[in-house]
């Protein structure tokens, strides 16, 4: 290094222009952009990174009108499908009551949940969206999610009639929180195809039902109302006594009903022992 360069680098009063000129000439390895990054002073930052300004979870919950939430969920479904359809009205409804510090959440991130995650038929998007909302807004989310999921798999749905619904459609009991099972059961009962406009509207109405129920559960918890958990059905309880934690086999982890996926007929074909009820 030339003596004049060394002297300049050792000078405590070296200005930015001198430093950039010197760094830019060292072997050509660091360009002006790299030099600016290395120096990274306040004068360098023409566009500062945005701060992650969202408050920590859970966010304070403010009671919502389940009927209004159901109607909004139906409308939201036609903007972004099932997962977005349940999450957005619940969380945005609370945000509207909390103020500016809670605004700006990217609700569109939940578009992915449609059709059990982009048509994979896994977890119903209505339940997925509500679970996300509960996790965001509840100090004790697990019992609410447990109750919502058991209600969904055991109840004849949809049980809500939102404003502007396109069809008057039959109900069905899914027996499962899974999208493909829920749709298959409904198609069997209704006679409509899975890609029909009736099925699409059915899922919009279902989003309304699930979002309204979710708001009720959040309201009850916030109001201190004791929750009576829906018990596991006898068929599932019998399976879990062997296959869940502490059972003879302990080769399964789940809270959902075992039937209809593991039907009695299918189990008999595989030589399964008689189910104890």
Q: What is the pLDDT along the chain (277 residues), one digit of tens a residue?
A: 555 544 444 444 444 444 444 434 434 444 433 433 333 344 434 444 345 568 899 999 999 999 999 999 999 999 999 999 999 999 999 999 999 989 999 999 999 999 999 999 999 999 999 999 999 999 999 999 999 999 999 999 999 999 999 999 999 999 999 999 999 999 999 999 999 999 999 999 999 999 999 999 999 999 999 887 788 887 888 888 888 899 888 888 888 888 777 777 766 656 676 666 5
Contact between 116 and 171 under an 8 Å Cβ cutoff? The reply is: no
Paired tokens of 21:
């000129």
pTM (2 decimals)? 0.77
Contact between 251 and 243 under an 8 Å Cβ cutoff? The reply is: yes
Paired tokens of 93:
């409804």
**Which of 140, 164, 157, 276 is closest to 217 using CA atoms?**
140
Q: How far apart are CA 95 and CA 61, in angstroms?
A: 9
Q: How far apart are CA 15 and CA 211, in angstroms?
A: 60
Which pLDDT value is given to residue 220? 98
Alpha helices in the chain (DSSP H): 3-10, 16-24, 32-39, 66-98, 125-137, 141-154, 179-190, 197-222, 234-243, 264-269
CA angle 108, 65, 122 (to 5 degrees): 40
Which pLDDT value is given to residue 236? 81
- From the CA atom positions of the chain, what is the Rg in Å? 28
């Amino acid at each position: 290094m030339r003596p004049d360069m060394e002297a300049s680098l050792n000078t405590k009063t070296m200005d930015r222009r001198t430093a950039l000129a010197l760094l830019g000439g060292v072997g050509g390895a660091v360009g002006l952009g790299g030099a600016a990054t290395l120096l990274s002073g306040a004068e360098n930052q023409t566009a500062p990174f945005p701060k992650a300004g969202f408050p920590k979870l859970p966010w304070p919950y403010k009671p919502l009108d389940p009927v209004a939430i159901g109607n909004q969920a139906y409308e939201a479904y036609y903007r972004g499908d099932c997962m977005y359809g349940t999450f957005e009205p619940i969380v945005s409804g609370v945000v509207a009551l909390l103020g500016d510090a809670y605004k700006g959440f990217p609700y569109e991130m939940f578009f992915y949940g449609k059709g059990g995650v982009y048509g994979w038929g896994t977890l119903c998007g209505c339940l997925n969206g509500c679970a996300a909302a509960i996790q965001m807004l509840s100090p004790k989310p697990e019992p609410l999610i447990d109750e919502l999921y058991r209600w969904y798999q055991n109840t004849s749905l949809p049980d809500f009639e939102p404003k502007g619904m396109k069809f008057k459609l039959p109900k069905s009991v899914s027996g499962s929180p899974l999208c493909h099972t829920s749709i298959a059961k409904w198609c069997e009962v209704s006679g409509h195809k899975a890609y029909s406009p009736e099925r699409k509207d059915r899922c919009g109405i279902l989003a309304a039902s699930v979002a309204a129920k979710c708001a009720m559960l959040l309201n009850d918890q916030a109001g201190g109302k004791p929750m009576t958990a829906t018990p596991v059905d006898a068929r599932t309880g019998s399976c879990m006594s062997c296959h869940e934690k502490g059972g003879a086999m302990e080769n399964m982890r789940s809270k959902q009903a075992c039937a209809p996926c593991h039907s009695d007929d299918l189990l008999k074909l595989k030589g399964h022992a008689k189910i104890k009820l």
